[in-house]
Structure 1
Amino acid sequence: MYKYLLAFIWLPLILFTSGCTSSTQEDQEYGISSINAEIPIPKNAKEIEVTTTSSNPNIKIGVKYELDNIGGEQGFYRPESYFNKLEDAGWEEQEDKRLGHVQFFEKEGTVIAIEIHEDTFDIHEMNKDAEF
């Protein structure tokens, strides 16, 4: 009896926690950015502010999002799963342009900068003639 009870409890638990997810579920975890429909944004990220003017002449438009636990304490950690999602969407990281916690990605001639902080991140679409 004990053997059947263990099988009844453990088998469903193992199957449930095995990590079987569909790609549809992953797609549903992301929406699109308000500044560029090509940029995926985690659905649970809350848009805080859109900036249409900047003192930086390299920035065309920017947006700030709030997202719990992105970047870890003080924004030191790369959100690998988010950056992988960007690459899946066709954005190529420009590693040679990285500046501290600011990473640059390019897709079809458009360059974006993603600045990671503790619990927030900024996305800036760069001007075509931007200098890095």
Structure 2
Amino acid sequence: MTTPETVTEGAAVRAVRTMYEAFARGDLPAVLALLDPEITWIEPDGLAVAGTYTGRDAVVEEVFSYSAQNWDPFRVVPDEFLAVGDDVVVALGWYDATHRSTGKSFSARFAHVIRLRDGVVTSMEAIADTHPWREAET
């Protein structure tokens, strides 16, 4: 009989997990410290913030600010991290939010494809079911 191997979490998954934990506790400086200054951030079609953003400032001003102004709470809850080699992590989870103006809530599944270099996120692409978002906004 053999003993099961211990699976260790790689550096890329640890960095991504740390980013989500910082986001969950509202620690924007900790999140930004893990983002490359020239990060490429892609939000899916169907969202008010759909598009490609380049740089931390653009992500904060366009994506994070929109979420903070329009949703309370806005939660990004990963439930699985899949390492793809040493520098790509796919995070699977749920968005949970309530729109400030309409009072409507939604939950939607997401997949985030995150690329890293030297432990810093260089790109993030969100793939999500945007229909529940639109329904909550109207």
TM-score (norm 1): 0.30
Give the structure with the higher percent strand.
2
Between the two structures, name the one with larger relative contact order (CA 8 Å, sep ≥ 6).
2
The structure having more radius of gyration, on CA atoms, is 1
TM-score (norm 2): 0.29
